[in-house]
């Protein structure tokens, strides 16, 4: 049996950085990864997909050049092999950077293999048994494949496998109208494929307020994406030239199908029962406000604990754990203000409560909205789709939440994220003097228009 000061299972966006901090403190750490260092973000998430989004935007801008007085003769052609290779290069550079970083650390042992608990302090991997007083789980999540008629009879794609696609689909059917599905839908439409989005629920991006959801749908429809919401009785069948996707109200002749109906935690094959670690009904590991499980000496970080399925929330889990365990701090998961983005174009930046959540919370709320068509920067760039929205508490003057669907919305939202984390009241933020011409310069004006509902 090999002994360590700590064992980290899973090399996503929390575990490796925590392992590195512990090594800096002189600890002996084993980092176990069953596949690739970097987790979903580096290998099948943020980095490759946003690289693909950038290629798709380049194609869109090239096709739109005439509007700006830039005439490009001939058809804009897409070389999907080059597109894929570019995304792969970005991934490999990041992955190899991690490999090199860990190779230079004394005290770090990287083990590739499938880890399973043998007890609350012991883990087996590759036929060996390891033990440590502290064990951290950062095992991530994977795509969910719903049990739909015919799904096992077709060669479907997931958000992981579609990244390796180096040919352009004739018609891509996207099953699921949430964040992952919508990003791929717009991306492949811009590459030149016909695209249909099929969503069981009544609207796209169901987490968002109805006005945001409707605006997202308008953006995608304006680019020629076919959207089917409220779809039921979804079924698949092979056809002579692809796959037939049938619903209660539509029949789609697709060449490729992307299943984007959510993700589930990679916790079902860790032997958690042997350690006594509790999970909820969906398989997420139950943690307290400091990310500790019910078993002393075991923590769960990142997607597998169900408290945010984002790279930045996973990294923040690392920050919380490191601060509490290594720096004598007292940081809590409940202090985190959730923020995220949807990387369609224009992007959606979101922080805090939606209007629906704010109304249900009992706050006396103020709301302000402003169309992007009234933003100078958006007009100058010729990108006026979307709108800004902010919600505040009428009594405390604190900002409760915001949504910016529009040009650079994923960056502009950070002004509000910072204000919320600092506890700044909206009247104070109104007196800031932002740079002109930017999208952010409209935040004080947006706040100045707050009105009771």
> Which residues are designated catalytic?
436
Please, where are the H alpha helices in 118-266? 179-191, 210-222
Residue whose pair of structure tokens reads 């099948």 in the numeric block: 44
Distance CA 134, CA 295 (A): 11
The two three-digit tokens of residue 177, written as one number: 């109208």
Apex CA 441: angle with CA 435 and CA 443, to 5°?
Answer: 145
Measured between alpha carbons, how far is residue 445 from residues 44, 373, 439 in Å? 39, 14, 11
Q: How far apart are CA 287 and CA 272, in angstroms?
A: 14
Strand order of the β-sheet with 226-228 is 226-228, 194-198, 171-175, 256-259
CB-count burial class (<10 Å; 0-12, 13-18, 19+) for 272:
buried
In the chain, what is the straight-line distance between the N-terminal and C-terminal CA atoms, in Å? 64
Query: In sequence order, what are the residues at sequence separation of 6 or more whose Cβ sits closer than 8 angstroms to the Cβ of residue 106?
Result: 23
Q: Is 18 helix (H, G, I), strand (E, B) or coil?
A: helix
HEC states along 27-69?
CCEEEEECCCCCHHHHHHCHHHHHHHHHHHHHHHHHHCHHHHC
Structure tokens at 326: 């290594």
Supply angle C-alpha 186, 189, 195, rounded to 5.
Answer: 95
Please answer whether residues 391 and 353 qualify as being in contact, where contact means their C-beta atoms are separated by less than 8 angstroms: yes
Burial class of 132 by CB neighbour count within 10 A (0 to 12, 13 to 18, 19+): buried
- CA proximity to 388, closest of 373, 376, 400, 405: 405
């Amino acid at each position: 049996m090999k002994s360590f000061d700590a064992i980290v299972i899973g090399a996503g966006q929390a575990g490796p950085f925590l392992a590195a901090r512990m090594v800096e403190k002189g600890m002996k750490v084993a980092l176990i990864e069953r596949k690739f260092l970097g987790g979903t973000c580096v290998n099948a998430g943020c980095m490759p997909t946003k690289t693909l989004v950038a290629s798709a935007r380049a194609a869109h801008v090239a096709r739109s050049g005439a509007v700006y007085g830039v005439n490009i003769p001939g058809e804009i052609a897409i070389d999907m092999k080059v597109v894929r290779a570019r995304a792969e290069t970005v991934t490999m550079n990041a992955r190899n950077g991690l490999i090199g970083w860990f190779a230079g650390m004394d005290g770090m042992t990287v083990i590739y293999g499938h880890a399973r608990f043998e007890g609350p302090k012991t883990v087996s991997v590759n036929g060996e048994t390891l033990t440590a007083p502290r064990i951290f789980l950062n095992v991530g999540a994977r795509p969910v494949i719903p049990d739909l008629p015919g799904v096992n009879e077709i060669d479907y794609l997931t958000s992981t496998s579609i990244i390796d696609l180096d040919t352009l689909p004739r018609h891509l059917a996207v099953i699921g109208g949430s964040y992952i599905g919508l990003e791929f839908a717009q991306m492949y439409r811009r590459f030149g494929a016909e695209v249909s989005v099929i969503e069981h629920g009544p609207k796209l991006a169901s987490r968002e307020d109805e006005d945001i959801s409707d605006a997202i749908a308008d953006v995608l429809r304006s680019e020629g994406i076919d959207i089917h919401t409220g779809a039921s009785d979804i079924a698949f069948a092979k056809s002579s030239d692809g796959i037939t996707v049938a619903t209660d109200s539509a029949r789609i002749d697709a060449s490729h199908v992307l299943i984007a109906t959510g993700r589930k935690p990679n916790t079902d094959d860790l032997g958690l029962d042997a350690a006594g670690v509790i999970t909820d009904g969906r398989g997420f590991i139950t943690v307290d406000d400091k990310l500790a499980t019910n078993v002393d000496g075991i923590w769960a970080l990142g997607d597998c604990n169900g408290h945010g399925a984002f790279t930045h929330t996973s990294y923040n889990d690392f920050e919380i754990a490191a601060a509490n365990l290594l720096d004598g701090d007292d940081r809590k998961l409940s202090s985190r203000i959730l923020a995220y983005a949807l990387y369609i174009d224009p992007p959606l930046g979101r922080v805090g409560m939606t209007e629906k959540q704010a109304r249900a919370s009992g706050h006396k709320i103020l709301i302000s909205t402003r169309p992007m068509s009234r933003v100078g920067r958006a007009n100058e760039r010729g990108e006026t789709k979307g709108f800004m929205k902010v919600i505040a508490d009428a009594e405390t003057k604190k900002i409760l939440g915001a949504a910016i669907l529009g040009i650079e919305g994923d960056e502009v939202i950070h002004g509000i994220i910072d204000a919320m984390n600092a506890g700044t009241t909206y009247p104070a933020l109104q007196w800031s003097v932002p740079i002109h011409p930017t999208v952010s310069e409209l935040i004080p004006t947006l706040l100045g228009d707050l009105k009771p509902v």
